[in-house]
Structure 1
C-alpha cells in the first residue's frame, strides 16, 4: 500500500472489544463449512451506509463496548447507527443516525453504553479492503476477510477509499436524520416453528411461550445461550446434522436453548424448535447478557409481510438520502 493511500485511513488509537469490519455476509459456501458471518444488526448497518451515500451492503465497522478510540488521518463523512455508546468527536457529542463530517486529526471516542449492544460506523465511499469470497466481512474462524481476518488492534490503519479536497464545513452534522422502523416494540420475538418442534412434550410446548429467556454471559456472535427453566423432549432421537441459519433455536441436550447468530456453524445436530423471523433478527443483536426475551408464534405470511415492509422502509430511506446528499453537494460545490 502506498503512503498516499495510507493517509486516507482511520488509525486505531485504542482497540475496543471485538471491533471488526462486516457487511451483509458471505453466502454460497456453507456446504464447504464456511459460515456467512456479517453484521449482527443488518438493519443498522444498512441505515449507516445509506446516510453516507453508500450501497446498503457496503462494509462497515461493527463495535461493541468498550468501543475503540479512532484517529482520522483525513477528512471523511461518517454515520453511526445502532447502539448508543455516547459518541464524542474531539470531546464534543455527535448524534446517531445523521451524517457527520470528520476532519483530519479528529478523534472519535465513546463514553458509555446508554442503549444497545452493537454500533455501526459507515464511511462515505467505503473501506479500501480486499474481499474474500465476495464479502468484506471478517470471518474470525477462518482468519480471513475484513481487516487481515481479525479484530482491530492498537496502531492498525484502516484505509478508506474516498478523498475529499479541502472541504471547509461550518456544520459538522448534516441537517437530516434517519427515521427508524424497528418493527417490534416489545421483548417478544416472533418465530416460525421448526422441524423438530413436535419433539417437545405438550407441557414444554406450553411452557415455551409462557416463560422468559435470559441471555447468558456465554452469548457471543456465534449464538446466544439462553437461561430458562428446562424444556423436555417426548423421546431422545438421534438427529442427523442438518443445515441451520441465523435465528435458529436449537435445544441442547441439557434442556436449554441456543439461539444462533451471525457467526453460527453451518450445520447442527440438535433439535430445531423454531426460527426467529428475519424482520426481528436485527433487534436481537442489540440485546446484552442479562437481558430477557420472550417468544411468540407467527405464520409465514405475516413474517414475509414484515420483511417486505422493512425493505420498503429502507428503499424509501435510500431514495431520501440520495436526494438530500446530491442536493447538499450541489449547493456546496462538492462531489459525492
Structure 2
C-alpha cells in the first residue's frame, strides 16, 4: 500500500515533530514548520500525533494513491483537488479510492500544508526521527525532497476503508472537521518574550520594534525568515559568544535588520537574541509567506505559558474527539 509522486512540487518532504537531543553534534531538530497542523492531520486519521507527514509547499506535487486510503490535509489551503475536478475540504478526514489523483492547482492561503495517511509513511528513522534533514542528506525519504517516480509505502492499516466508499464515488469525506480559528487568529500579530540581549537595544529601537511592521524577505526559507523594517540599534556594539538558539529566536543582524529562526535553524548563533516568538504562535508564523508583514507584541512568560497550555488542552480535546469518531465508525 503506497502513494506515488506523479509530478514533483516545489519542496515536498517527509517530516515529523523533529530530531531532538543532537544539537551538541551540530544536528538541528528540524521537523515540521507548523507543528499544530501536522499533529491535527495525524489525529484526524487516527495516528499518533508525532507520526510522519508530508510537508507540501506551493506549487504542490501530483500524488497518486495506489490503494484505498484514509487521508487528511491541514495547514495552508492550496485548493486540494481529486481527479482534476473534485475540490476537497481541508482539516477533515477523507477516504480516497485506489488510483485517485491528488493535486493542488490554486493557492488560497498559507505557506505549507500537511498530508497524513492512516498508519503513517513507512520510512526509516534517522537518529530517532523521520524528519528530512536536507543539508545532511539524511532522514525522511532518502534524505531529500520528493521527486517524480518516488513511491512512499504506508504502514499497515488497522481500519478497512473500502466499505465507506459508495460505488459511484472516488472519495468520501467523513462527517467531522476541526475548527482552527483560535490558533490562526490575527495571523500577522506575533507574540514574543524578550531575549537576553533585549536590554542592549536603545530605548528608541525597543519602541520601534513594538510600533512598526516588519516584512518577510523573499529569500526566507525553512532555516529563517529575513525581516525588513526600521533598522534597530544596540547601545554598545560588543562582541558576543556564540550560544544556543531555537525555533522562534529573533536575532539582530549587524545591519540592524532582524532574522527570525525557523525549523531548520542552526544550533548556535553569535548575533544578539533580542526576543523569542512564543511556542503557541509558531504555527501561524509558519504559515506566513514572503512579503507578508509581522507586527510584534511583547508578553511575559506566565502569559506565554498560559497560551501554550491552552493550545495543548485544545489539541488533547481534538485527539480524543477524532479517536471517538473513528472508533464509532469502525464499530
TM-score strictly above 0.5: yes
Answer yes or no: is the 8 Å Cα contact 2:187–2:284 preserved in 1: no
Instruction: State the 1:184 CA deviation.
Output: 3.8
Deviations 1:10-38, CA, capped at 9 Å, x for gaps: 10000001100111000000011000001
**What TM-score results when the alignment is normalised by the length of structure 2?**
0.96
How far apart, CA to CA, are the structure 2 residues paired with 1:166 and 1:16? 28
Matches within 5 A, 1:268-279: 268-279=269-280
Aligned residue for 2:231, secondary structure, equals: coil
> Which residue of structure 1 lines up, in the alignment, with residue 11 of structure 2?
18
How far apart, CA to CA, are the structure 1 residues paired with 2:238 and 2:160? 65
Deviations 1:224-245, CA, capped at 9 Å, x for gaps: 0001121111111111100000
- Quick one: which of 144, 153, 167 aligns to 2:162? 167
Instruction: State the 1:162 CA deviation.
Output: 3.0
Cα-Cα RMSD: 1.1
Answer yes or no: is the 8 Å Cα contact 1:76–1:162 preserved in 2: no
**What TM-score results when the alignment is normalised by the length of structure 1?**
0.94
Aligned residue for 1:209, secondary structure, equals: helix
Matches within 5 A, 1:1-336: 8-90=1-83, 91-163=85-157, 167-168=162-163, 169-170=165-166, 172-180=172-180, 181-182=182-183, 184-330=185-331
Aligned residue for 1:217, secondary structure, equals: coil
Aligned residue for 1:172, secondary structure, equals: strand
User: Which ranges of structure 2 fall in alignment gaps of 5 or more residues?
Assistant: none
Instruction: State the 1:73 CA deviation.
Output: 1.0
Answer yes or no: is the 8 Å Cα contact 1:279–1:310 preserved in 2: yes
Answer yes or no: is the 8 Å Cα contact 1:183–1:310 preserved in 2: no
How far apart, CA to CA, are the structure 2 residues paired with 1:13 and 1:103? 17
How far apart, CA to CA, are the structure 2 residues paired with 1:292 and 1:179? 25
How far apart, CA to CA, are the structure 2 residues paired with 1:23 and 1:126? 10
User: Which ranges of structure 1 fall in alignment gaps of 5 or more residues?
Assistant: 1-7, 331-336
How far apart, CA to CA, are the structure 1 residues paired with 2:309 and 2:236? 38
Deviations 1:291-324, CA, capped at 9 Å, x for gaps: 0011011000010000000000000011100000
